[in-house]
Amino acid sequence: MRATTATIDADALKHNLKRVRALSAAKVIAVVKADGYGHGLERVAKALADADAFGVATLTDAERVRQAGLLHRIVLLSGFDEYGDIEALAQWRVDTVLHHPFQLALLERARLPAPIDVWIKVDTGMRRLGFSPESAAAVYQRVREIPGIGSIRWMTHFSCADDNDREVSELQMQRFSSAIGELPGERSLANSAALQAFRTSHSDWVRPGGMLYGLSTFPRKMGRDLGLKPAMSLSTRLISVRDCALGDRIGYGGTYICAHPMRVGIAAIGYGDGYPRHAPSGTPVRVAGQSASIVGRVSMDLLAIDLSAAPAADIGSEVLLWGSDLPVERVAEAAGTIGYELVCGVTRRVQFTAK
């Protein structure tokens, strides 16, 4: 069997949730969208069963959480898209975010078989989803009059918390609070970055995603600098080792030219597994416990590694692409992306195992 494996560490997920609890007394919506940030939805949701609720992006994911036997509150973070979704919200007991008047019109037409709890989203500056702060009170009145609506809560989303931008984030907090004024309903603002950077953003519910998986959202910081443990290790093995001569060109396009004779290992992983194709020569890996780096273009199933710094490495040696001994943020930085994208991108061809 191909050795390419994503090992998911349930204890790391639990540790990271404890870290959230240590930082905030607010209730926690554990964000498990995108298949648990690529870690496997059911596995993640079960490990995070101490959370107060789960946040998902699709009704299919909400259904999967229910089918896994979890009875928590589930929040559909981008809201429902069409009339047919409303019945599923009631059936699976899923809270929906309301961000646009078209959703109110659909709810007004619906005969709800069971009450639906809603979260009115206020756009305080992200300019993605949400009602304008000026319309919040009118939206609230309209929602309240829809028969079959259960409890009403409020949320907004930060645009620049990951850049630690206090000015923009404070402005968003102010807009949110003045939009809602004295209207009743619990509130939620903070994603991982705000939760860690701005205590005043915590309010009633926090919504961490990345930090639960051990990921840093802050530039130049690793998850471990924030007291987090990585929940995913991506590894494979060397399936070939060869001696290359000075001037040899490695891989598609021959983009890497050997500047000296070197041993090159070929690892059984490529962009078909979700390893980023745009990771350049020099992107770090670990081979047989030693630091090394990739050379040449990443291909679909394979990548090449300069073994000069890992003389003990041979066919069968373990290759770590990211995990505890190699923060995903370092790979992401080399590849011009963020750890979030890398873990979400691991494909289903990779074997997933529990640690």
* In the complex, minimum distance from the CB of residue 89 to ligand PLP, in angstroms, rounded to a whole number: 17
Binding-site member from 207, 237, 286, 297 for ligand PLP (CB under 6 A): 207
Name the one range near ligand PLP by CB under 6 A: 108-116, 143-151, 209-217, 267-275.
Answer: 209-217
By the 10 Å C-beta count (0-12 exposed, 13-18 middle, 19+ buried), 67 is classed as: exposed
- Nearest Cα residue to 269 out of 260, 259, 279, 261: 279
For the window 169-198, what string marks contact with ligand PLP as x by the rule CB under 6 A?
A: ----------------------xxx-----
What residues between 221 and 240 interact with ligand PLP by CB under 6 A? none
Helix (H, G, I), strand (E, B) or coil at 326: strand
Question: Is the Cβ of residue 136 or residue 302 nearer to ligand PLP in the bound state?
Answer: 136
Binding-site member from 133, 209, 270, 296 for ligand PLP (CB under 6 A): 209
Q: What's 280's DSSP letter?
A: P
- In single-letter form, the type of residue at position 167 comes to E
* In the complex, minimum distance from the CB of residue 164 to ligand PLP, in angstroms, rounded to a whole number: 13
- Note whether 202 binds ligand PLP by CB under 6 A: no
- Note whether 216 binds ligand PLP by CB under 6 A: no
* In the complex, minimum distance from the CB of residue 72 to ligand PLP, in angstroms, rounded to a whole number: 16
Residue at token pair 């001037």: 247
Name the one range near ligand PLP by CB under 6 A: 84-92, 137-145, 202-210, 331-339.
Answer: 202-210
* In the complex, minimum distance from the CB of residue 348 to ligand PLP, in angstroms, rounded to a whole number: 21
Q: What's 79's DSSP letter?
A: -
Q: How far apart are CA 263 and CA 59, in angstroms?
A: 50
Q: How far apart are CA 116 and CA 96, in angstroms?
A: 8
Q: How far apart are CA 294 and CA 265, in angstroms?
A: 9
Beta strand extents in 86-189 (DSSP E only): 95-98, 116-121, 149-155, 187-188
Tokens of 338: 């963020």
Helix (H, G, I), strand (E, B) or coil at 349: coil
Q: Cα Rg for the chain, rounded, in angstroms?
A: 23
* In the complex, minimum distance from the CB of residue 132 to ligand PLP, in angstroms, rounded to a whole number: 17
- Note whether 77 binds ligand PLP by CB under 6 A: yes
Question: Is the Cβ of residue 209 or residue 284 nearer to ligand PLP in the bound state?
Answer: 209
Active site residues: 33, 252
Contact residues: ligand PLP, CB under 6 A = 31, 77, 157, 191-193, 207-210, 217
